[in-house]
A and B are shown apart, each in its own frame.
Chain A
Amino acid sequence: MSGATAPLVQVEGIGRVFGAGETAVRALDGVDLSVGAGEVVGLKGPSGSGKSTLLNIIACILEPSAGRLLLGGETVWDGAWRVADLRRLRRERIGFIFQFHNLLPFLDATDNVALAMTLAGADVGTARARARDLLDYLQVGHRATAKPARLSGGEAQRVAIARALANRPRVILADEPTAALDSERARVVMDLLRQVAREQQAAILVVTHDEKIFDRFDRMVALRDGRLEAVA
């Protein structure tokens, strides 16, 4: 297990209410969570417990109703967004990994990874070179020119991880990254994430229902009815 250092993700008393009046739904209520550099934290909970809401808030795509959000020590939200360009923040500081990899079907593996860098302003040549390095690092370099439809589930998820790492983010958010994989491939993906966290000193938060990978986290936290209930 990697030892936790200064938290890269810090959630303090975060709450989120959907709707108003009698129909108001409290999706999150006073959630405190921190994820340090090199740490891989699992977030579990039943459907409707608020996992996706919390992930969306940390991803800066959903505004909380209360609390404070800090990324890399910088206050991002405390009653209002404190960062002017949230897309830039996402582009440069957060990597995303999805349940169904969400690779663009019309780009090959290299360009899917390079795209994240060109969106951040890198020139295409440099971006492609780094993309190939990342694919090699994640052991899918031999599939660099394959389109997503030609990749296996495990290969596609590795390419998605490569894309998440493209801009060297310190925070990586993963939404059910192993749900579409068998046990063996799920473990391989989790080991890769652990390797990334350790080697790149990134904070990784993984939303998962997948019990077969629970032992791969440094920490597990659970959400129930919008509250952080248990820490394993």
Chain B
Amino acid sequence: MNLALADIRHRLGRFLMTCVGLGLLMGVALSMIGIYQGVVAEALALSRSLRADLWVVESGTRGPFAESSRLPGDVREMVARLPGVAAAGAITLRTAEMQAPQGVLRVQVMGYEPGRPGGPDAIASGRALGGARFEMVADARARLPVGATVLLGGDRYRVVGTTRGLVASGGDPLVFVTLRDSQELQFKLAPPAARRAQAAGTGGGGTDTVNAVIARLAPGADPAQVAETARRWKHLGALTDAEQSDLLTRSVVNRARVQLGMFTVVLLFVSAVIIALIIYTMTMDKLREIATLKLIGASDGTIVGLVLQQALLLGAAGYAAAVLIVFATRGFFPRTVALGPAEVAVMAGVIGAICVLGSLVSIRAALRIEPQQALGG
């Protein structure tokens, strides 16, 4: 005869309503953990997709994500000739707003040379970029179907393929265009400005500039050693992929990560207080019943079991509701909610611990109820 279950069955409607409310609260906490994980995953998504072993950037900078970096376009040739480098590709990266069928869309535009490192490693639909100009591969997050046309930098681009899960650290979807298109987009001056620059003798027509060169190394090559070799050119800096990933998570998204982490901790604390209060109220609602149980000889274990089992059942049902709610709605979040079995399991453990801790006050109160209270004075 399980008293906890019997009591829950008796007040099932109230219990379920409480679970839904708790589920929403836990769902927010779970979403925050997913968003926290998502920020890190999004920050690393591009660098992982490029499968680069080495990032060659402007000397003295930590580009191209953390800081601005500019290199002459021919650096790609130099890097390709370094010992241990199997392939190298130049890339550009900039944020832009483009006119899409659904309205103005903020994106991160990545330029690369098709056939060289720098493009997406997988195409979800359509095809990869060929050599033609004004073609674009867009991430699914941009919600642009294959065949759609968009206006970017005054030119009309046609979407020829889509990727999945490639966004910038700020959450903007990535679009890939050819290096030439992106260089014009990024570095070509508007005609009046170009004329002024030419007149001043400062150039203005050249666009063969890139933000970084990424390299894939030959099997057995040591990334640190190749990076050291690249740094011997005074105008070049080099980061291994591990250093770049570290930079992305520790520097680029660090504030967002800490902010989300703090918010998650606050939410978990609030959840703990609310769970403790609900359990306390549920226990105090049964004051007379507990007094009666004590009077007719129930052991402390029976009383503790009643409170603790209800707390755990409440937590379990609330958490199940939270998981259902979050997994049903996470597609509607503007940023990735990265939740896997590990996060769900860890959060379940945290909720379990909160329920046990939250029930301690109620257990103490229940054990202090005097059996005389059953006799009504």
Contact = CB atoms under 8 A, between A and B. Distances in A.
A111 interface: yes
B310 to A, nearest CB: 11
B295 to A, nearest CB: 6
Interface string A103-133: 0111100010011101110001001000000
Contacts of B302: 119
B370 interface: yes
Interface residues of B, number: 25
Interface stretch (B31-39, B50-58, B147-155, B286-294): B286-294
B375 interface: yes
B11 interface: yes
Given A111-B6, A116-B296, A119-B298, 12 more contacts: A56-B375, A59-B295, A87-B297, A87-B298, A96-B374, A96-B375, A98-B292, A100-B376, A102-B289, A106-B11, A119-B296, A120-B297
A176 B375 CA distance: 9
A124 B1 contact: yes
Contacts of A96: 295-296, 374-375
Given A56-B375, A98-B375, A115-B1, A105 B296 contact: no
10 contacts: A52-B375, A90-B296, A90-B297, A96-B296, A104-B293, A106-B7, A107-B1, A107-B6, A115-B1, A116-B296
A81 to B, nearest CB: 15
Interface in B2-19: 3, 6-7, 9-11
Interface residues of A, number: 33
Nearest to A62: B372
A163 B1 contact: no
A104 B289 contact: yes
A188 to B, nearest CB: 22
User: DSSP majority for the B interface?
Assistant: helix
A102 B288 contact: yes
A175 B375 contact: yes
Interface in B293-311: 293-299, 302
Contact of A99 (B292, B371, B376): B376
B375 A119 contact: no
B340 interface: no
B334 interface: no
B289 A105 contact: yes
A119 B289 contact: no
Contacts of A107: 1, 3, 6
Contact of A61 (B11, B289, B371, B377): B371
A52 B377 CA distance: 7
Contacts of A91: 296-298
B10 A147 contact: yes
Given A105-B289, A106-B9, A61 B370 contact: yes
A74 to B, nearest CB: 17
Contacts of B374: 96, 98, 102
